[in-house]
Amino acid sequence: MEANKALYEAVTHLGDNTLILGHRLGEWCGHGPVLEQDIAMTNIALDLIGQARMYLDYAGKLSGQEKSEDDMAYHRDVLDFKNALLAEIPNGDFADSIARQFFFDQWHYLFLEQLSTSADETLNAIAQKSLKEVTYHKRWSSEWVVRLGDGTAESKERMQNAIDDVWMYSGELFIPVASDAILVEAGIFPDVRSLKSAFDKEVKAIIEEATLTLPEDDFMQTGGRTGSHTEYLGYILAEMQFLPRAYPDATW
Amino acid sequence: MVSTEEHIAEIWELLSGVEDPEIPVISVVDLGIVRDVREEQGKIVVDITPTYSGCPATQVIEESVIEALTAAGVSPFEVRTVLSPPWSTTMLSAEGRRKLTEYGIAPPADESTDKMALMGEERQLKCPNCGSTDTLMVSQFGSTPCKAHFKCKECLEPFDYFKCL
């Protein structure tokens, strides 16, 4: 029972990360700086929302209340969302979105590598599938950090500002919640703390290549996994959930 | 009464006629989306697998498969979605690769060539229009989740590349 609850929490966290970040990237649709990058961001959004569907479908089954993926996405309130804060922070300018994506992708890749050996068959399958897609995401966001950082005076300044602003949201992904312990023990869920050193190494190498610097301050914002969110999440949900809540039986 | 083996072979044949909604020259069998057809306790079970997680064609494909089976009078049947092992471009049939090229989409290269091509290190992808290998990646992401966007520097035509997954 306890293990089931822990698994529900963990799967919901993964589903919410991908759903909310996918939604954020979707906001770029039609607003990208150039057509190719507009398409890139919406492609990544599509991958993430596809992954979210698989996680939330699974979470719905674990909920014990026969919830569907749509119930999970559209009929939960802010406090029930368990995504990392990083996923919900606003798009800002292109550099801000790149910084957010860069930190997320670097974590996501390392995390999925571990999750693909999970003892849980469903998580294992989702992770193997997602890892292939995230390989492309990571390549794209890393490339843009370098291109903007090692670019013009303005692009460098904006990329540096973005890294400085977003950095404090990157640490939360490496802090487990209490209920993770039982899953880590059973080989179902990675111990996220173990990913931090590889993350730091990868990030540092790319930041250096981009002629940028990481903030020295290691203060990190936390709270997403326990449902304490920034004010931004409520606005996302208001937009995302309005239609299914106002017209519960609406179909395409 | 046909034997189960024959019946299953007929269903494979039937599904070879179901087209991918976004690349209508290639069938869902050529694409490797239909993973297995078998009989379970008198019921025909068809396993299908999505290409990319968010591919919007997945649902249309499932509906097309159901429609084809229903139209052919296959009953009872069930279409199941399986995720593991994950779909990979190596599941594309030789026939599928040939059809893609004819349609103007460069088929996926092997993994190492793919990596070099997408990293922009080497120009090894062949333009499906003129055959030149003097090609350039415009973006890793293209018109659908499964494609990257290239252009040919020889004939100047843009083309899609079905990237490795």
pLDDT tens readout for residues A107-149: 999 999 999 999 999 999 999 999 999 999 999 999 999 999 9
pLDDT at B2 over 90: no
Chain A residues touching residue B55 (CB < 8 angstroms): 46, 50
Q: Is B54's CB within 8 Å of A48's CB?
A: yes
**Under 8 Å CB-to-CB from A154, ≥6 apart: which residues?**
none
Tokens representing A75 are 């009929």
Distance from C-alpha of A102 to C-alpha of A88, rounded to nearest angstrom: 14
Q: In chain B, what residues touch A140 (CB-CB under 8 Å)?
A: 140-141
Angle subtended at Cα A248 by Cα A242 and Cα A251, rounded to the nearest 5 degrees: 95
| Mean pLDDT value across chain A | 96
Interchain pair A132, B50: CB under 8 A = no
Q: What residue type is A242 in one-letter code? A: F
Q: Determine contact: A38 vs chain B, CB below 8 A.
A: no
**Which residues share a beta bridge with B77?**
B44
Please report residues of B whose CB lies closer than 8 A to that of A45. 54
Cα(B100)–Cα(B103) distance, rounded to whole angstroms? 5
Please report residues of A whose CB lies closer than 8 A to that of B83. Answer: 54, 122, 125-126, 128-129
pLDDT above 80 for B146? yes
User: Alpha-carbon distance A250 to B153, whole Å?
Assistant: 48
Give yes or no for residue B108 having a pLDDT over 90: no
Decide if A47 and B145 are in contact by the 8 Å CB cutoff: yes
- Find chain B residues with C-beta within 8 A of A121's C-beta: 84
Would an 8 Å CB–CB cutoff place B121 in contact with chain A? Answer: no
Enumerate the residues of chain B whose CB falls inside 8 A of the CB of residue A47.
52-54, 145
Q: Between β-strands B135-139 and B105-106, what pairing exists: parallel, antiparallel or unpaired?
A: unpaired
Tokens of B162: 């079905």
Q: Which of B44, B35, B46 is closest to B77 using CA atoms?
A: B44
Portion 20-49 of B in contact with A at CB < 8 A: none
ipTM above 0.90 for this complex = no
pLDDT in tens, A233-250: 999 999 999 999 999 878
Between B55, B83, B163, which is nearest A125 by CB?
B83
Distance from CA of B69 to the nearest CA of A (A): 24
Mutate to test the interface with B, among A42, A46, A48, A129 (most CBs of B within 10 A): A129
Q: State residue A252's pLDDT score.
A: 73
Q: Is pLDDT above 90 for B111?
A: no
Q: What mean pLDDT is predicted for residues B13-20?
A: 93
Buried b / exposed e over B32-48, threshold 16 CB at 10 Å, is bbbeebeeeeeebebeb
Asked whether B113 and B92 are in contact (CB, 8 A), the reply is no
pLDDT in tens, A157-202: 999 999 999 999 999 999 999 999 999 999 999 999 999 999 999 9
* pTM value surpassing 0.80: yes
Mean pLDDT of A64-76: 95
C-alpha pair distances (Å), B136 with each of A7, A238, B108, B122, B133: 45, 43, 15, 9, 9
User: Given B83, B142, B145, which is nearest A46 (Cβ)?
Assistant: B145
Q: Do A36 and B141 touch (CB under 8 A)?
A: yes
Choose the closest CB to B55 out of A39, A50, A126: A50
The reported pLDDT for the residue numbered B113 is 66
CB contacts < 8 A (A, B): 75
